[in-house]
Structure 1
Amino acid sequence: MALETYLVQVAFTAEAMAGLVKHPENRLSSMIPIVEKMGGKFIGSWISFGEYDSIAVIEMPDHVHIKAFSMAAMAGGGLRHFHITPMISFEKGVEAMKLAGSLAYQAPQED
């Protein structure tokens, strides 16, 4: 079964960030086993700047599994946001372009 690819962006609560500053740790050691238990694969993760504190690329069996992962992570506390972006390969993107080219969409009529 092919896995679906997702970009995951997380933001910690102020309290969780204070805890990480006081007791630095790599949170991947707690996340990777959960992803693998769900039949997924952890591709990579990075500390990021801006709205989100960390990003990861994760493969999961389907949308239900990635949503369950986000629910579990949020329910565990320590996160303000858990944003999921489904991604497709460029090859599938070209398939989508070809399909879109075969469709006829008409904008609403203006008065």
Structure 2
Amino acid sequence: MPKFLIQATYTPEGAKGLLTEGARGRSAAVDHVVAALGGTVEATYFSFGEDDFVCIVDFPDPICMAAVSLSVKASGALRTRATPLLTLDEIDKAARQEVEFRPPGA
């Protein structure tokens, strides 16, 4: 299953919701939405600094990740980034893939 790193920052309204529900409540909400789309949550962390929340999830396909991303962003409670994560084998396979590329001006 494709794996994604999700990094999120709460908006002021989202932070108020976190204060009301607590970290376990929000983590349960993430677990629920991911499981409903056939995925699993590998790790969940709250942080401070640029990001307030970080998790690693597995989804059946990128469409599921896109659907979650759109729904979460539309709520206005979080600003998110989803980064596809690749295994060592996947990168090795990509490195062996021939690509015809001409740099600009070459």
* Cα distance between partner residues in 2 of 1:30 and 1:103: 42
The DSSP-based 3-state class of the residue aligned with 1:49 is: coil
TM-score (norm 2): 0.84
Q: 1:10 to 1:98 in 2, by over 3 A?
A: same
CA RMSD of aligned residues (A): 1.9
Q: 1:108 to 1:78 in 2, by over 3 A?
A: closer
The corresponding residue for 2:52 is: 53
The corresponding residue for 1:14 is: 12
Q: 1:78 to 1:98 in 2, by over 3 A?
A: same
The DSSP-based 3-state class of the residue aligned with 1:105 is: coil
**Aligned with 1:4 (options 2, 22, 42):** 2
The corresponding residue for 1:106 is: 102
Larger radius of gyration: 1
Alignment-mate amino acid for residue 42 of structure 1? V
Alignment-mate amino acid for residue 97 of structure 1? A
Normalized per residue, the structure richer in helix is 2
* Cα distance between partner residues in 1 of 2:44 and 2:23: 14
Deviation of residue 19 (structure 1)?
4.0
* Cα distance between partner residues in 2 of 1:50 and 1:85: 19
The share of aligned pairs that are identical, in percent, is 25
Q: 1:65 to 1:106 in 2, by over 3 A?
A: same
Alignment-mate amino acid for residue 71 of structure 1? L
Q: 1:43 to 1:23 in 2, by over 3 A?
A: closer
Deviations 1:14-64 (A, max 9, x none): 132134335534211111111111011111111123221111101111111
* Cα distance between partner residues in 2 of 1:31 and 1:89: 24
Deviation of residue 78 (structure 1)?
1.6
Unaligned runs of 5+ in 1: none
The corresponding residue for 1:76 is: 75
Deviation of residue 103 (structure 1)?
3.5
Unaligned runs of 5+ in 2: none
